Structure 1
Amino acid sequence: MELSPTALILIGLLLAAWTVGAAWMMIASAAKSRKAEGSRKAARRMARMIDEAPAIPLIVRTDGRIEGSDRLAGWFGLDLLPEYLSELEGGPGKGLSTSQLAELSQNIRRCQKTAAPFRMALTPPGSQRSLAVRGVLADPQVSPGGAALVWIFDFSESESELSRLREEAARARGDFGALVGIIEAAPMPMWFRGTDAKLQLVNKAYVTAVGAPSAEVAVDQQLELIEPVDGLTAAQIAGQAADKNMPIERIVTSTIDGERRSLRVSDLPLDKEGVAGYAVDIEEMEELGREFRAFRDAQRSILDQLSIGVGQFDAGRKLAFANGPFRRIFALNSGAVIQGLDFERLLLSARENGKTPEVRNFPEWRAEHVGWFSAGAAQEEAWPLSDGTHLRIIAQPMPDGGLVLIAEDRTEQLALSATRDTLLRTRTATFDSLFEALAVFAPDGRLQLWNRSFAGTWGLEPDHLDAHPLAPDLLEAIAQNLEKPKQVKSIGEVIRSATLDRKEQGGRLAMADGRTLEFAGVPLPDGNGLLTVLDITDSQMAEDSLRERNKALEASEEVKTKFLSNMSYEFRTPLTSIGGFAELLEAGVAGDLSDQGKEYVAAILQSVARLTDQVENVLDLSQSEAGLLPLTIKRLDMLPFVTSIVRTREQAIEDGGITLDLRGSKATGKIDADERQLGRAIGQLLDNAIAATASGGKILVDLSKNKGVAQIVISDNGAGMTPQELSRALEGQIDERRQGLGIPLAKQLVESHGGTLQIESRKGEGTAAIIRLHS
């Protein structure tokens, strides 16, 4: 049977494919053999690694069967690993205890049912081995059917280390608790900042200082105790301390409990842990420092006001302070204190300026005075200088090793002492030369000082005063020489008032020999009292005589007053009667009169009017001089008032051919005056001006006011008067051109209004009368 070519080809292809498949199978088998060998090696390595690992796995199936290494049996104190979990309880000293096994079984069942992992620690009874158990649900590839995979770790060595660490931790916690307690109880605010410079821990004092309810609130709100300084917050400054790894200390002010307090703040970096800080309240120390500086400045300010020189040297014998008198006494410049002049150098400079006494061995003298610094008590010396100055030097060593040197210039005091001695001698001589009798009593009443006249004035023996008797004893001796001995008490009252009450008091009494003495007590500045006694016998007699004359004058004044009162009636009544009868004759009551009779009647009426005016002037002048002139003061407008007076004399001015110029305005204001009396004064002056001015003359009446003073000027360009004529006119002597009593009356009326009248006149030029009144 022949095969076709196609069949042969197919058979060839089939054989080739078979050969390729066999070759592939051989290659794949060799690869799997190698892979299996690798897996066996890997399994052996894994088994070995598990045996050497610190953790041993244990498979617990759902039926309680367990699979694990025999090494694990040794951990449990067993010879062989049992087949079931319940068999791990091997009895006393072996396996697990009943409670441990029950807990392990419960955890494994929960893990198998819920797939929840668990952890626990076991210590087999009678073993020092500590085991850590970690259980999870086993992967199905490891053990299907919901088995639990339990890993057991032996951390016995770690447990020992942990025990040691626990002890150290417990001790550290105790120490930390004590430290925290100390920090918490510390009276100063303390805090701790983390690496971010934020507050993490604060103590109770910090909480109180910032006013927070608790430390947690203070930390949560990052309440800062220290206010920003120069734009830097407390946290930023703490950050600088951490960056530089150097502590920073500063003094700042902060508000605590509503008060500004000075705090010394320290920020201490703690490696990389953070920054600790604390604040010490130094307000009291600062206050003490301020008080000390204020006290020192006040003390030095007071010393600068003293007239005594004061210099202070420190423990190094350097000049620390010197007031103005000290520098002036020792001729020091202002830089001596700044440069800290040495004490020895000061003495040398003083010697060169002639401010130390002349001594034979100056170095030895200077060394002795340097010893003042170590002296146990104050030293005092008198330094007479070559220029006549006397210095009193006091050296007071100080507890700090320094020295206070006091220099007092007693030159003036010694001169005053000499002057005082001279004054005392002068006073004694003056006392003895006085006409008055003087005595000085001490506050206790003892006689201290007296002059020669004192004993003779009181009729005492000089020897009696030499014993400086007390006032009662002295008064007892004086009483015997008085006209009325009981009046001696008044002398005692005067002495007591001058010495104890410090009041002036006086008295007068009569002596038995007829003399009259006047005495007075005067308190003296030194606390003593001065008793002055004066014999006023002659003056008393003169006083009695003057008193009698005064009574006579008062009686004559009374008579004068009565006379003036009667004159008003006695003068006016006849004139009124004459005037009345003359008017009746002029009216034709007694029949028609001839022309000559009418002229006589007119002359009679003119004379009556003139005489009435003169009588009025005489009475007013007399009453004014006696102070009896009645005045009715009221407010007057000066310009209308004077104008009305001028108008009443308008006819006389026109008849005399005189020109009158009245100057004034409403600005002259008002015055307080009696309209009638002041009007009479101005009218009298105006009448005099009219009478003295010839035809064609001019009269000026000027009204003005300046600084509350009203002024009325009445001037004319008439004949004028010589000084003698003006004097006679002021005295009231009758003149053909002047109405005799006009000027004196006007002067009296003006002065009764509190004003003044001034008259100026020149012969041939005229007269000016100036009235000044206070408005």
Structure 2
Amino acid sequence: MQSSPFLLTLIGLLLALWTVAAGWIMIRASTRVQAAEGTKRAVRRLSRMIEDSPAIPLLVRADGRIEAPDRLAGWLGLDAVPQYLSELAPSGAGGLSEDQLEQLTTRVRRTQKTAAPFQMTVKPRGSKRALALRGSLADPNVSPSGAALVWVFDLTESEEEVAALREETARAREDFGALVGLIEAAPMPMWFRSPQMQLRLVNTAYVAAVGAQSPDEVVARQIELIETVDGVSAAEVAQQAGERRKPIERIVSATIKGARRTMRVTDLPLIGEGIAGYAVDIEEMEEQAREFRAFREAQRSMLDQLSIGVAQFDSRRRMTFANQPFHRVFALPPGIVNDRTSFEQMLMVARENGRIPEVRDFPAWRAELGEWFLSDETQDEAWPLPDSTHLRIVAQPMPDGGLVMIAEDRTEQLALSATRDTLLRTRTATFDNLFEALAVFAPDGHLELWNRGFTGVWGLDPEALDGHPMAEDLLEAIAQQLADPKQVATINLVIRSATLDRKKKQGNVQLSDGRTLDFASVPLPDGNGLLTVLDVTASRQAEEALRERNRALEEADAVMTRFLANMSYEFRTPLTSIGGFAELLTSGVAGELTPQARDYAEAISLSVGKLTEQVENVLDLSQSEAGLMPLSKQKLDLLPLITQVVRKREGAIVDAGLTLDLRGDPGKKVEADPQQIRRAIAHLLDNAIAATARDGKITVELRQNRAGTKITLSDNGRGMTQHELARALEGIRPTRDGKGIERRQGLGIPLARHLIEAHGGTLEIHTRKGVGTSATITLP
């Protein structure tokens, strides 16, 4: 039987449908299998996530039974999770305490009834673990019977962190309080600005500085401490610090408590908070800086006046100062200080100018000097220069790492020292060869210096003085040589007078051998005392002989005085008698004389007159030299007196062929003896007449000035040499053996001089051979 095509088609469709249905069923089954596998994997994943989650679920059913992972038992310190909530507080170790369990039970029941969530923290017994419990009503899909779901979190680490944070917070609060107290107690003004640059906080010092009543007043009125400088206010400066995010420090002047003070102001940005600021009063520091600068300038000015060279180097070994002597000593150029020349360069310049010692290895020597900066001790060296200059170099390290270098030119001092040594040797040689005995005593009384004559004059052992004994020990040895040992106290007094009292004193002693010593003390400028001793034995003997001779001379002078007084009578009386008898014979009392007899009588009278005049001259001169010239002073008008003297010699002047010029103003008066002054002028005039040749001229001039009254007699005669003038002034003098009188020239000039000197005046004679003579009488 043949199959119908329709049937075949229908069969094919059915098979196709079956195949499709089978395929769909297989695909659906496979999908469900995959979904089931996925669900299982999701369940396992969720279970694993719950196991590894930081929170553990605890399901508490209405009947008190609980469900929870085993991990909760480990958190609670139990071996296994109990079946009921009440078993979470077992009698053994672990679990919750009774109070914690009671609180948990109460809150769980309230949640089951009211669906109100709760939170609490518990700590299992015997464990440091802290657990946070957060409970709520469980979802019906989880437990439809009104169970409570409690999530348990392990807050052990969080609790520790919270405790640490609490501790840090408390400490921060304490630090903040201390900081606030510190800011309030700070002596410097401090403030804080908001991001809008408004004052928000100020301390007490700020309030006192601006003269406000309280910090609130300062903040309310925005009272600024710092004034606007160059058009920029304090808030604008703070804003600039905030924009730059860097502190701004400046030095300005501000009025603090009514006084202008220099302040160092700092604006400190606090990122995200605002700007803090504080002001430090540096007025005293500025004043000290000014004083330091003034002191430094004064010090450098003073160093410029010193005769020694001084230079200063800083810690970088650069020259910061050098005075003029330092420039001169090392021949440095003027701008070396301004160029901040280093120490090594300065030595190089000095070396080029030949102002350092000659050294073989200059770099090594310079490096050795560079160690002065690192030394702790002062260096003192002597530098002999090639030009024979000797320098003393002192290097003083400074605390700041710098160096002060002092250069002293000691060439002159060394020369003076050598000269001093020579002088000391010369002094020693001079002392040892002096005729006097010398000794120098120090203020403490010990013998410091002596010469060889000192030991010889006192009869001391020279070796006994080598130890420079004290004065007391020396005087004990001297006392043994004295005729009277008690006189040693006089020597001690003289030594003390020079060394302690600083006065001169002298004395004399007798030695046991008959010698006489004179000693004297002289204070020396160095505080010592000089004792000089001289053996005056021979001079004392000569002095005694002179005294004896003086006594003999005094007796002879008395005899001469009596002789002169007697001769004045014995000479004048016979001459007066002879002259009187001659005048009587001439007048004819004894009868009329023949012409020849009359001539003899007149000759006798003329000779008597001349002899009388010579006797009077001799007697007056003798009395004047003996100091016995009698004077009868009175007020005299000199011009008439001189005129009388000239008139009496008018005949002699005319006979000699001379001219005389008398000049002078009338009214010149002096206190004098008229007879003696007349005689003095007459003697000088007679000498002028005798010394002037014919046709000569004599001038007599009278004048008066501050020095007194002067009478000048001058002529143009033959004059005298100085030797002749000396002999004329001597007149007469005792012979060499002292037993007679020797006549040198006429007695006129010496007698005139004595007469004038007896009136307190002077006689000056100026003469020149062949030119003339001038005699000047000066009367007070």
What is the TM-score of this pair, normalised by structure 1?
0.58
SS for the counterpart of 1:469 is coil
Q: Where does residue 183 of structure 1 map in the other structure? A: 210
Check conservation: 1:713, 1:768, Cα contact below 8 A: no
Q: Shift of residue 574 of structure 1?
A: 3.0
TM alignment of 1:465-480, pairs within 5 A: 465-480=465-480
- The counterpart of 1:744, out of the listed 741, 747, 750, is 750
Check conservation: 1:671, 1:774, Cα contact below 8 A: yes
The answer to whether the aligner puts 1:571 opposite 2:571 as a matched pair is yes
Q: Shift of residue 177 of structure 1?
A: 13
Check conservation: 1:262, 1:286, Cα contact below 8 A: no
TM alignment of 1:109-128, pairs within 5 A: none
Check conservation: 2:437, 2:532, Cα contact below 8 A: yes
CA distance in 1, matches of 2:428, 2:777: 57
Q: Shift of residue 325 of structure 1?
A: 2.5
CA distance in 1, matches of 2:373, 2:515: 73
Q: Against the structure 1 CA distance between its residues 504 and 708, is the aligned structure 2 distance closer, same or farther, given a 3 Å change threshold?
A: closer
Q: Where does residue 58 of structure 2 map in the other structure? A: none
CA distance in 2, matches of 1:565, 1:460: 60
What is the identity, as a one-letter code, of the residue corresponding to 1:555? E
Q: Against the structure 1 CA distance between its residues 627 and 286, is the aligned structure 2 distance closer, same or farther, given a 3 Å change threshold?
A: farther
SS for the counterpart of 1:518 is strand
What is the identity, as a one-letter code, of the residue corresponding to 1:537? T
Q: Against the structure 1 CA distance between its residues 633 and 286, is the aligned structure 2 distance closer, same or farther, given a 3 Å change threshold?
A: farther
Listed one character per residue, the Cα deviations across residues 331-375 of structure 1 (whole Å, up to 9, x for unaligned) are 113332343332221122122233334445544443443343454
SS for the counterpart of 2:310 is strand
CA distance in 1, matches of 2:613, 2:260: 100
SS for the counterpart of 1:509 is strand
Q: Where does residue 408 of structure 2 map in the other structure? A: 408
Q: Shift of residue 600 of structure 1?
A: 4.6
The answer to whether the aligner puts 1:321 opposite 2:321 as a matched pair is yes
CA distance in 1, matches of 2:652, 2:329: 91
CA distance in 2, matches of 1:721, 1:387: 66
CA distance in 1, matches of 2:688, 2:625: 25
CA distance in 2, matches of 1:284, 1:479: 74
Q: Where does residue 437 of structure 1 map in the other structure? A: 437
Q: Gaps (5+ residues) in structure 2?
A: 1-197, 214-222, 238-249, 265-279, 733-743
The answer to whether the aligner puts 1:768 opposite 2:767 as a matched pair is no
What is the identity, as a one-letter code, of the residue corresponding to 2:210? I
Q: Against the structure 1 CA distance between its residues 626 and 694, is the aligned structure 2 distance closer, same or farther, given a 3 Å change threshold?
A: same
SS for the counterpart of 1:444 is coil
Q: Where does residue 309 of structure 2 map in the other structure? A: 309
What is the identity, as a one-letter code, of the residue corresponding to 1:768? T
Check conservation: 1:726, 1:761, Cα contact below 8 A: no
Q: Where does residue 72 of structure 2 map in the other structure? A: none
CA distance in 2, matches of 1:710, 1:262: 84
SS for the counterpart of 2:349 is helix
What is the identity, as a one-letter code, of the residue corresponding to 1:743? I
Listed one character per residue, the Cα deviations across residues 613-653 of structure 1 (whole Å, up to 9, x for unaligned) are 22221122112222332445666555444334323333544
- The counterpart of 1:754, out of the listed 748, 761, 765, is 761
Q: Where does residue 82 of structure 2 map in the other structure? A: none
TM alignment of 1:16-35, pairs within 5 A: none
CA distance in 1, matches of 2:355, 2:229: 63
Q: Against the structure 1 CA distance between its residues 657 and 409, is the aligned structure 2 distance closer, same or farther, given a 3 Å change threshold?
A: closer
Q: Shift of residue 549 of structure 1?
A: 1.8
Q: Shift of residue 265 of structure 1?
A: 12
Same amino acid, percent of matched pairs = 61
Q: Shift of residue 405 of structure 1?
A: 0.9
CA distance in 1, matches of 2:725, 2:359: 88
Q: Against the structure 1 CA distance between its residues 178 and 582, is the aligned structure 2 distance closer, same or farther, given a 3 Å change threshold?
A: closer
Q: Shift of residue 310 of structure 1?
A: 1.1
CA distance in 1, matches of 2:708, 2:455: 62
Q: Against the structure 1 CA distance between its residues 728 and 370, is the aligned structure 2 distance closer, same or farther, given a 3 Å change threshold?
A: closer
Check conservation: 2:720, 2:773, Cα contact below 8 A: no
CA distance in 2, matches of 1:769, 1:356: 75
Check conservation: 2:262, 2:283, Cα contact below 8 A: no
CA distance in 1, matches of 2:531, 2:651: 77
SS for the counterpart of 1:339 is coil
Q: Against the structure 1 CA distance between its residues 601 and 525, is the aligned structure 2 distance closer, same or farther, given a 3 Å change threshold?
A: same
The answer to whether the aligner puts 1:488 opposite 2:515 as a matched pair is no
Listed one character per residue, the Cα deviations across residues 488-521 of structure 1 (whole Å, up to 9, x for unaligned) are 2122222222222223322222221222222233
What is the identity, as a one-letter code, of the residue corresponding to 2:442? A
What is the identity, as a one-letter code, of the residue corresponding to 2:767? E
Q: Where does residue 680 of structure 2 map in the other structure? A: 681
CA distance in 2, matches of 1:581, 1:520: 71
SS for the counterpart of 2:354 is coil
Check conservation: 1:755, 1:772, Cα contact below 8 A: yes
Q: Against the structure 1 CA distance between its residues 614 and 386, is the aligned structure 2 distance closer, same or farther, given a 3 Å change threshold?
A: closer
TM alignment of 1:599-618, pairs within 5 A: 599-618=599-618
Q: Against the structure 1 CA distance between its residues 636 and 761, is the aligned structure 2 distance closer, same or farther, given a 3 Å change threshold?
A: farther
What is the identity, as a one-letter code, of the residue corresponding to 2:623? Q
TM alignment of 1:164-563, pairs within 5 A: 182-184=209-211, 292=292, 295-359=295-359, 361-563=361-563
RMSD, matched Cα: 4.9
Count of aligned pairs: 537
What is the identity, as a one-letter code, of the residue corresponding to 1:677? Q
Listed one character per residue, the Cα deviations across residues 39-69 of structure 1 (whole Å, up to 9, x for unaligned) are xxxxxxxxxxxxxxxxxxxxxxxxxxxxxxx
TM alignment of 1:641-656, pairs within 5 A: 641-654=641-654
CA distance in 2, matches of 1:251, 1:567: 114
Check conservation: 1:300, 1:323, Cα contact below 8 A: yes
Q: Gaps (5+ residues) in structure 1?
A: 1-170, 187-200, 204-236, 267-279
Listed one character per residue, the Cα deviations across residues 111-142 of structure 1 (whole Å, up to 9, x for unaligned) are xxxxxxxxxxxxxxxxxxxxxxxxxxxxxxxx
SS for the counterpart of 1:526 is coil
